[in-house]
Amino acid sequence: MFKNYIKRFLDQDNFLLKLLLGSAALLWLAPAFSSLWRDEAITYWIIACGWAQALRRALSFQEWSAAYFMLEKACLAVGGRNEFMLRLPSIAAAAAAARAVYLLGKRLGGGRAGLPAALVFAVSAAAAEHAAEARPYALSLAFATIATLYLVKTLDAGKPHDAALYALFTALAAYMQLLSAAVLAVHLLYWACRRFAEKDASGIFPAALAGAAALMFPLIIPARSIIARRADVLFAPYPGIGDLIFYVLPLPLIFGAAAGLLLTRPALPSKKEIKELPVSTVTLALSLALLPPLIFFCAGYLLHARIWVTRYFIYSQAGTALCAGILLGMVRPERAQRTAAACIAAAVLFPHTHFFRFNEDWRGAAAYASKKAAGLNAGVALTSPYSESMQPGWLTDAEKTRYLSAPLAYYPAGAEPAVLPLNLSPGNRDQVAGILKTAALGRNAMIVFSFGDQGYDDFIWKCLAADGFSLKERRTGKNKPDVTVYSRALQ
């Protein structure tokens, strides 16, 4: 009976499309209503003012993605202040990217490759992570993937409007996230393969490439700024070879595909079928999947740059999906293909006990703090979640301290927060003590937001105890930040 149920499930009309839409709804839409996390709060802080000031803040603090913040400002103006509206551009971008992957799969691997490729993309952990996030990475992914689609169209037909759209979307990818410009390495490799190996590349591509370069020329200014302060913005650890391998070959994809194929014992692609794939198709799919992470992996070590941040080359997930989709499209019979696709989706969805992805509940923490501070003359202190707070100059600049307390701009907790550095060190202990003393002056209670560093929390407790405060209660849990309430007897 169970076996018959599985067969009916797999034999539904439009099974892969239904699986794609259901998976995307769970992975993309469900988290869209949860609390903003620290980096999303920066997005809100930048745009929570007039247009001119929002542009100035974007250019001052996030210049590599300033265009994105103007788009978010427009969403805020139209839809009002809520988490879903802030995340809507990313959701729409993820959907556009999935469609571009579908069209690329159909064009490169035949009609059977489009939906499997789009499904693998939709359940990709790396892509889904940014599909419901008020940050620019889903848009850079979408524009880079759409640019790749128009690259293929340009080289296939040589139409000027395809070339113009290729230039536009390539530039837009870089305007959303500057390092997305590295997708040009993939495009150049694919063009070279078409031009020299298959002798059929359109001569219009160099003009399209020149157009993209011209559109991206203004980005030289933020690029120079980032290079000048690279010590402040390059923070990622150096990756190991395992980081590279598991990014390129994510375990849920491998386990899911293997389980599906073992369950059905299908007819796998023959050597002849694989050899019949155009060299350019294999080149584009593999280079899009492998070249971006390899560039960042090697550049990190060769240039001693801490740039292994997977969201910087997230568009490579489109390449992984294309590779998987092309191979799944060759699997026979169709039920075997559907089983493999269902197992891939299940391998990604199964670990989720809920679909609220972010592990920072600033909304809940601020609500708790506001409730506890009601009726009290309470001050607020925040251990800033941002690495910039370790620079002493940031803690003495009024606008920079507001940046460092961005989550409490969206979720107010009472008083203007006093901002503490991210980590306690021998060099900043006196500074932390001084900030706490000033914040507690004339207060009957103190609300402290922190992140579970026991040594740091103990130091804060000692500083406040020396000023007559005692620990009242504390909110801790899986989702940070922690909130600690201190009270002082009325004088």
Count Cβ atoms below 10 Å from residue 43 Cβ, excluding itself. Answer: 26
- Of residues 478 and 20, the one with the higher pLDDT is 20
| Contact call for residues 483 and 417 (beta carbons, < 8 A) | no
Which amino acid is it at 146?
Answer: I
Please tell me whether residues 174 and 255 are part of one structural domain: yes
Domain boundary among 295, 326, 349: 349
Centroid of chain to Cα 209: 27
| Contact call for residues 17 and 118 (beta carbons, < 8 A) | no
Please tell me whether residues 304 and 387 are part of one structural domain: no
Please tell me whether residues 271 and 379 are part of one structural domain: no
pLDDT score recorded for residue 307? 82
453 exposure class (CB count in 10 Å sphere: 0-12, 13-18, 19+): middle
Q: What is the mean pLDDT of residues 91-107?
A: 96
**Which residues does residue 105 pair with via DSSP β-bridges, in sequence order?**
none
Backbone angles phi, psi at 35, to 5 degrees: -60, 145
Confidence of residue 357 (pLDDT cuts 50, 70, 90): low
Residue 409: inside a domain, yes or no? yes
Please tell me whether residues 200 and 328 are part of one structural domain: yes
What 8-state DSSP symbol labels residue 10?
A: H
Confidence of residue 355 (pLDDT cuts 50, 70, 90): low
CA–CA separation, 429 vs 459, rounded Å?
Answer: 9
| Contact call for residues 376 and 444 (beta carbons, < 8 A) | yes
Please tell me whether residues 140 and 28 are part of one structural domain: yes
Q: What is the residue-wise DSSP string for 282-345?
A: HHHHHHHHHHHHHHHHHHHHHTT-----GGGGTTHHHHHHHHHHHHHHT-BSHHHHHHHHHHHH
Residue 357: inside a domain, yes or no? no
Q: What tokens appear for 38 in the block?
A: 């620290």
The yes-or-no verdict on residue 491 having pLDDT over 60 is no
337: CB partners within 8 A, 6+ apart: 112, 116, 266, 328, 329, 331
**475 by DSSP, 3-state: which?**
strand
Q: What is the mean pLDDT of residues 8-27?
A: 82
Q: What is the mean pLDDT of residues 172-179?
A: 94
Please tell me whether residues 296 and 367 are part of one structural domain: no
CA–CA separation, 47 vs 52, rounded Å?
Answer: 10
Q: Which domain holds residue 471?
A: 362-488
CA–CA separation, 390 vs 421, rounded Å?
Answer: 5
Q: What tokens appear for 364 in the block?
A: 């809940």
**Strands 469-475 and 445-450, sheet pairing:** unpaired
**168 by DSSP, 3-state: which?**
helix
Please tell me whether residues 246 and 133 are part of one structural domain: yes
Q: What is the residue-wise DSSP string for 159-200?
A: -HHHHHHHHHHHHHHHHHSGGGGGHHHHHHHHHHIIIIISS-
Please tell me whether residues 292 and 366 are part of one structural domain: no
Please tell me whether residues 46 and 126 are part of one structural domain: yes
| Contact call for residues 348 and 252 (beta carbons, < 8 A) | yes
pLDDT in tens, 28-87: 988 899 999 999 999 999 999 999 999 999 998 988 889 999 999 999 999 888 999 999
What 8-state DSSP symbol labels residue 255?
A: H
CA end-to-end distance (rounded Å), the chain: 75
- Mean pLDDT, the chain, rounded, equals 89
CA-closest candidate to residue 289, choices 342, 258, 327: 327
Could you give the strand order of the β-sheet that contains 378-383, starting from the edge strand earlier in sequence? Answer: 418-420, 378-383, 445-450, 482-488, 469-475
106: CB partners within 8 A, 6+ apart: 113, 114
Q: Which CATH number characterizes residue 380's domain? A: 3.40.50
Residue 165: inside a domain, yes or no? yes
Which run of H or E residues covers position 279? helix 279-302
Please tell me whether residues 153 and 111 are part of one structural domain: yes
Please tell me whether residues 333 and 428 are part of one structural domain: no
CA-closest candidate to residue 438, choices 424, 421, 417: 417
Centroid of chain to Cα 298: 22
pTM: 0.92
pLDDT in tens, 413-446: 988 999 999 999 999 999 999 999 999 999 999 9
Please tell me whether residues 382 and 314 are part of one structural domain: no
348: CB partners within 8 A, 6+ apart: 23, 27, 123, 124, 125, 128, 252, 256
